[in-house]
């Protein structure tokens, strides 16, 4: 059985260095620091209660973004069909990474909002919801317990790795705009990855209501649909809390 010190990642070699006395060489100090970091990493993995490591922390910015013009949208929903046919091989608008149906006639806040002058309560404006490719901190990636959401070149989009996704739906509850989809057939979550820089929704829109542009931060300009049920699962210094 391993001793508590060995379990925490502190090797016998480092213990010998500690026992040598207060006069430590630069090399010994580096060894000690490395062992301490390894020990903290092992505790971070065990701290989840499931033996899994903490989620990946995304700091890179995305290079692109799909933006929408509601004044042009005619609610044909071809964008949703193009998205699912390209990504899922089936026509299933409810799985689409761009979402029009839930705003059809009622606006982004839904039927019972009675605010915002949308849909049956006002202008009849059709609103297209799209992934914001959030800057750091990325809510869905931070909440994922399996580190399944990562950056994918060439667009640096935030994507879900199906090999790591367990279908726990934690990311669905973490996105303030509810932009994560879940495929019951595969039991996997899925989200917009910008089709590697050539979004099929943009190409399919007959009204030119969608545009692929260089990334801009819209997270503080587009009101959230919900208050996320889950908060960040990691400590990230003093940059945010």
- Domain range list for the chain: 4-46, 64-214
pLDDT at 96: 96
Cβ neighbours, 10 Å, residue 70: 16
State CA 35 to chain mean position distance. 31
pLDDT at 109: 72
Cβ neighbours, 10 Å, residue 115: 10
CATH 3.30.70.20 fits 64-214, yes or no: yes
| Per-residue model confidence as pLDDT tens for the chain (241 residues) | 445 444 444 445 544 544 555 555 655 555 555 555 444 444 444 444 444 555 568 888 999 999 999 999 999 999 999 999 999 999 999 899 999 988 888 887 776 655 556 776 677 788 899 999 999 999 999 999 999 999 999 999 999 999 999 999 999 999 999 999 999 999 999 999 999 999 999 999 999 999 999 999 999 998 888 888 765 555 454 455 4
Residue 173 has, within 13 A of its CA and on its CB side, a CA count of: 11
Question: Which H helix or E strand runs over 82?
Answer: helix 78-87
Is residue 48 within 8 Å of 145, Cβ to Cβ? yes
Question: Which H helix or E strand runs over 203?
Answer: helix 200-204
pLDDT at 50: 46
Is residue 11 within 8 Å of 38, Cβ to Cβ? no
């Amino acid at each position: 059985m391993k001793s508590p010190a060995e379990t925490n990642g502190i090797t016998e070699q480092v213990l010998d260095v500690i026992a040598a006395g207060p006069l430590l060489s630069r090399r010994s100090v580096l060894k000690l620091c490395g062992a301490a970091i390894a020990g903290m990493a092992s505790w971070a993995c065990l701290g989840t209660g499931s033996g899994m490591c903490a989620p990946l922390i995304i700091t890179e910015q995305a290079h692109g973004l799909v933006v929408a013009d509601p004044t042009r949208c005619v609610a044909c929903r071809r964008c949703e069909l193009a998205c699912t046919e390209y990504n899922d091989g089936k026509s299933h608008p409810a799985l689409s990474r761009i979402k029009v149906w839930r705003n059809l006639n009622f606006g982004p806040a839904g039927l019972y909002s009675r605010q915002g002058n949308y849909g049956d309560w006002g202008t009849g404006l059709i609103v297209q919801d799209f992934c914001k490719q959030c800057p750091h901190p990325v809510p869905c990636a931070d909440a994922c317990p399996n580190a399944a959401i990562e950056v994918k070149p060439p667009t640096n989009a935030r994507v879900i790795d199906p090999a790591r996704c367990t279908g726990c739906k934690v990311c669905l509850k973490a996105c303030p705009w509810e932009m994560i989809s879940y495929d019951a057939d595969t039991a996997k979550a899925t989200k917009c990855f910008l089709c590697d820089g050539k979004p099929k929704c943009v190409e399919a829109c007959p009204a030119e209501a969608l545009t692929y542009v260089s990334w801009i931060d819209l997270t503080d300009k587009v009101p959230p649909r919900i208050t996320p049920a889950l908060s960040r699962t990691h400590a990230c210094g003093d940059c945010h809390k």
